[in-house]
Amino acid sequence: MNLWTVQTLVPLPVLVPLFAAGLALALHRYERVQRVISVVALSVAVAAAAGLVVAANDGPVVVDLGGWAAPVGVNLVADPLAAIMLLVSSIMLLCVLLYSMAQGIADSNERTAPTTKNARLLREALEAQDPDADESGRRDVLPVAIFHPTYLILAAGVADAFLAGDLFNLYVGFEILLAASYVLLTLGGTSERIRAGSVYVVVALLSSIVFLLAVGLVYAATGTVNMAQLAERLPDIDPGVRLGIQALLLLAFGIKAAIFPLSAWLPDSYPTAPAPVTAVFAGLLTKVGVYAILRTQTLLFPSNEKLEAVLLVLALATMLVGILGAVAQDDVKRLLSFTLVSHIGYMIFGVALATQASTAAAIFYVVHHITVQTALFLVVGLIERRSGTTSLDRLGGLARLAPGLAILFFVPAMNLAGIPPLSGFLGKVGLLEAGVLDGSVLAWVLVAGSVVTSLLTLYAMIRAWNKAFWQASTDKEPLPEQDRLPWGMVGPTAALVAVGVSLTVVAGPLYDYAERAAATVMDGHTYIEAVFPDGAPRGTGESNEVTSDAEEDRP
Partner 1 sequence: MIVLDTVPSGSLLLAVGVLFAAGVYLLLERSLTRVLLGFVLLGNGANLAILVAGGRAGAPPITGSGSGSGSEAEPMSDPLAQAMILTSIVITLALVAFVLAMAYRSWQLHGHDEVQDDLEDTRIARLAVADVPSYADSDSLESGPTLAEEAVTARDEVALPDPAVDLPPRGRAGS
What are the residues whose beta carbons fall under 8 Å from the beta carbon of 240, sequence distance 6 or more? Answer: none
Task: For residue 202, give the amino acid letter.
Answer: V
CB of 137 to partner 1, least distance (A): 7
Reduced to 3 states (helix: H, G, I; strand: E, B; else coil), residue 255 is helix
Which of residues 61 and 214 has its CB atom nearest to partner 1 in the complex? 214
CB of 467 to partner 1, least distance (A): 10
Contacts 24+ apart (CB under 8 A), 139-144: 139/111, 139/112, 141/188, 141/189, 141/190, 142/108, 142/111, 142/188, 143/108, 143/188, 144/105, 144/106, 144/107, 144/108, 144/111, 144/187, 144/188
Which of residues 180 and 501 has its CB atom nearest to partner 1 in the complex? 180
* Alpha-carbon gap, residue 373 to 377, rounded angstroms: 6
Which of residues 338 and 346 has its CB atom nearest to partner 1 in the complex? 338
Which of residues 187 and 510 has its CB atom nearest to partner 1 in the complex? 187
Which of residues 201 and 357 has its CB atom nearest to partner 1 in the complex? 201
β-sheet bridge partners, residue 63: 76
CB of 252 to partner 1, least distance (A): 11
* Alpha-carbon gap, residue 334 to 325, rounded angstroms: 9
CB of 434 to partner 1, least distance (A): 35
CB of 175 to partner 1, least distance (A): 5
Neighbours of 364 (CB within 10 A): 28
Which of residues 15 and 194 has its CB atom nearest to partner 1 in the complex? 194
CB of 356 to partner 1, least distance (A): 33
CB of 333 to partner 1, least distance (A): 11
What are the residues whose beta carbons fall under 8 Å from the beta carbon of 520, sequence distance 6 or more? Answer: 59, 60, 79, 80, 81, 526, 527
Residue of 417, 415, 413 whose CA lies nearest to 504: 415
* Alpha-carbon gap, residue 102 to 106, rounded angstroms: 9
> Is residue 71 within 8 Å of 224, Cβ to Cβ?
yes
Which parts of this chain interact with partner 1 (CB under 8 A)? 132-133, 137, 168, 171-172, 175, 179, 182-183, 186, 189, 191-192, 194-195, 197-199, 201-202, 205-206, 208-209, 212-213, 215-217, 219-220, 223, 225, 267-268, 328, 330, 334, 393
CB of 532 to partner 1, least distance (A): 18
CB of 15 to partner 1, least distance (A): 18
CB of 79 to partner 1, least distance (A): 24
Which of residues 199 and 519 has its CB atom nearest to partner 1 in the complex? 199
Which of residues 223 and 420 has its CB atom nearest to partner 1 in the complex? 223
Pairing assessment for the beta strands 75-78 and 61-64 based on DSSP bridges: antiparallel
What are the residues whose beta carbons fall under 8 Å from the beta carbon of 87, sequence distance 6 or more? Answer: 46, 49, 50, 52, 53
Neighbours of 501 (CB within 10 A): 18
Which of residues 103 and 339 has its CB atom nearest to partner 1 in the complex? 339
Task: For residue 132, give the amino acid letter.
Answer: D
Which of residues 202 and 437 has its CB atom nearest to partner 1 in the complex? 202
Do you find a cis peptide bond into 421, omega within 30 degrees of 0? yes
What number of CA atoms fall less than 13 Å from residue 259's CA on the CB side? 26
